[in-house]
Amino acid sequence: MFVKYEDFDTLPHWVQKYIENIDMRTQSSLTAREYASDLRLFFRYVAERRGLVSPDDDWADIDLHALVDTDFLRSIRSGEIVSFNNHCRDVLKHRPNTLSRRFIAIRRFFRYLTVQRHILETNPMDELDPQKTGKSLPVYLPLEDCLLLLRTVENDPENPFRERDYCILTLFLNCGMRLSELCGLNLADIRRDDTMRIRGKGSKERTVYLNGACTAALRRYLRTRPQEGLKAEDRDAVFISRNKRRINQRSVELMLEKYLKICGLEGKGYSIHKLRHTAATLMYQNDVDVLQLKEILGHENLSTTQIYTHVLDAQLRAAVEQNPLANVRTEPTEEEAKKAAHVAFLQSQMLPPEMLAKAAAYDPLAQALAKAEEETEEQKANKEAHIAFLQSQMLPPEFLERIRAEEEEKEKKEKKEKK
C-alpha cells in the first residue's frame, strides 16, 4: 500500500529528505510514493527482526520517525537487506517485479545517504548484486475483448456517467495513456486540431493525435460534463467525479474493475495499465513503426518499446504452429532419428537372423530388421565374437545371457538328434 500524503510526516527523517529529492528531481509523485512505501516496509521489518518492537505489534503503529535515526541507519548490514528480500519473496509472496523495485528503492536510498549527504561512510548495498527479473510479455486485451468492454459501458442504462467512462476507456485503448496522465488532463490540453497534450513522467510533455473514435467520444462526454458546483482547483479538469472533483486514479481503477466483472473478463489479469499495453500492441500489429510507437507512448528508451515487437514474434510463432500441416514433416523428428540410429547400430553388429528375431521380443526397434535371411558361414564363425562385442554396447547383459543359453540349448538338442 502506498504511503498517504497525510502519513508523510511519520516517515524517518532521512527517508523524508530522500523522497523530497526524488519528487523534485523526477517530478513523479507515483515513484516517490512507491519508494516511500518500500522503505517504510523495510525499516518496519528490521525493527521487528532486531526485537525493537513486539511481533504482536501492528506494523502500522510502529513509530519509525523516532526509531530510525542516523545511528540506526549506520547499523544496517547487508544481511538484513537479504533477509528482508527473502521475507518479501517467501512470506509476502511478492512478484519478481515488486522485489526488484524494493531492492532498487533501498539501493538508491543508501546511495543518497552515502554519496550525496555523506551520512554513511560505507554503503551496505555495495556487497549485494542487483536483482534480476526475467522479461515477460505484456498482458493485453484481444480486439474482441476491447469491443465487448466498450459495448458493455455504452449500453449500461443504469450508469449516469457512461459517456465519461466510455470516453476514458476509448482514450486508454487508442492513445496508450498512463493512468496518471489521464487523471491529470485539463481542458486546455485538448486542442482544436484534434491533438492532445499529455504530461508524462518527469513532467515531459508530448502531443498525441486523436483519431475519430477519440474525438467523437470526447465531444459526446464534454456535452454532459458538469459545469456547476466545481471547486476552483478542479474547474480545468477534463474528467470529473461524482463528487464534482477531478477524478482520481482509484475511481478509474474501480470503474474498470466493475465493467470487467460485468462483461465476464474478470480474473484475466486485466488492469488500467494493461489497456496501455493493449493500445501499443494493437497499433504495432497494424504496422505502426516502433519509433512512432515510442513517441506515442512517451517512452524514454527504445528498448522499453521493443517489448511489443516480442509480442508479435510470439504470436507469429503460435500462428505457424496452428497450421494443420504443422505435423507433416519430411525430416525425421528427434524420436525418429533416435530410432534410426539404433537400427543402424543393430545392423552394424552383424547379428544373425535368429538373434535378431529374439531381439525383436525385447527391443521393438529390432523388428524392422527381423527378416528371413540365411546365415552365412562367416556369421556363424564370428557369432561368439559378436556377442562379446555387444556386451560392451547397448544391449542389456540379461538379454545376451538368455540368447547365449538358448543357443547352447539348441546346439545340445541338435547334437542329441544326430546321435
pLDDT tens, residue by residue, 137-182:
667 788 899 999 999 999 998 899 999 999 999 999 988 888 989 9
Residue 45 annotated among the catalytic residues of the structure: no
**How high is the pLDDT of residue 56?**
74
pLDDT band at residue 243 under the 50/70/90 scheme: very high
Q: How far apart are CA 254 and CA 242, in angstroms?
A: 13
**How high is the pLDDT of residue 328?**
46
Residue 219 annotated among the catalytic residues of the structure: no
Q: How far apart are CA 109 and CA 112, in angstroms?
A: 5
245: left (phi over 0), alpha (psi -120 to 50) or beta: beta
48-62, 128-142, 351-365, 398-412: which is most confident: 48-62
Catalytic member of 164, 274, 308, 358: 308
Mean local confidence (pLDDT), 107-126: 90
Catalytic member of 33, 178, 277, 358: 178
Residue 65 annotated among the catalytic residues of the structure: no
Mean local confidence (pLDDT), 177-200: 90
Residue 178 annotated among the catalytic residues of the structure: yes
Give yes or no for residue 342 having a pLDDT over 80. no
Catalytic member of 33, 107, 299, 358: 299
Between these two residues, 10 and 131, which has the higher pLDDT value? 10
Mean local confidence (pLDDT), 5-32: 74
Catalytic member of 33, 40, 246, 276: 276
Least confident of 44-48, 141-145, 211-215, 313-317: 313-317
Handedness of CA 177, 180, 181, 182 (dihedral sign): positive
Between these two residues, 84 and 132, which has the higher pLDDT value? 84
Return the HEC string of 104-123. HHHHHHHHHHHHHCCCCCCC
State the amino acid at position 21 in one-letter form: N
Count of CB atoms situated within 10 Å of the CB of 133: 14
Catalytic member of 201, 220, 402, 404: 201
**How high is the pLDDT of residue 319?**
54
Cell of 388: 562379446
Give yes or no for residue 55 having a pLDDT over 80. no
**How high is the pLDDT of residue 346?**
59
Cell of 100: 526488484
Residue among 199, 161, 179 at smallest CA distance from 275: 179
Catalytic member of 244, 273, 342, 404: 273
**How high is the pLDDT of residue 203?**
72
Residue 13 annotated among the catalytic residues of the structure: no
pLDDT band at residue 5 under the 50/70/90 scheme: very low
> pLDDT for 389-409, tens place per residue?
555 555 555 666 677 777 778
Q: How far apart are CA 136 and CA 141, in angstroms?
A: 16
Residue 273 annotated among the catalytic residues of the structure: yes
Between these two residues, 404 and 204, which has the higher pLDDT value? 204
Q: How far apart are CA 265 and CA 257, in angstroms?
A: 9
Give yes or no for residue 194 having a pLDDT over 80. yes
Mean local confidence (pLDDT), 120-140: 72
DSSP, collapsed to helix, strand or coil, labels residue 198 as strand
Give yes or no for residue 375 having a pLDDT over 60. no
> pLDDT for 71-85, tens place per residue?
999 999 888 898 898
Residue with cell 513532467: 203
Q: Which domains are present in the chain?
A: 5-127 (no CATH), 143-321 (1.10.443.10), 334-418 (no CATH)
Q: How far apart are CA 15 and CA 8, in angstroms?
A: 9
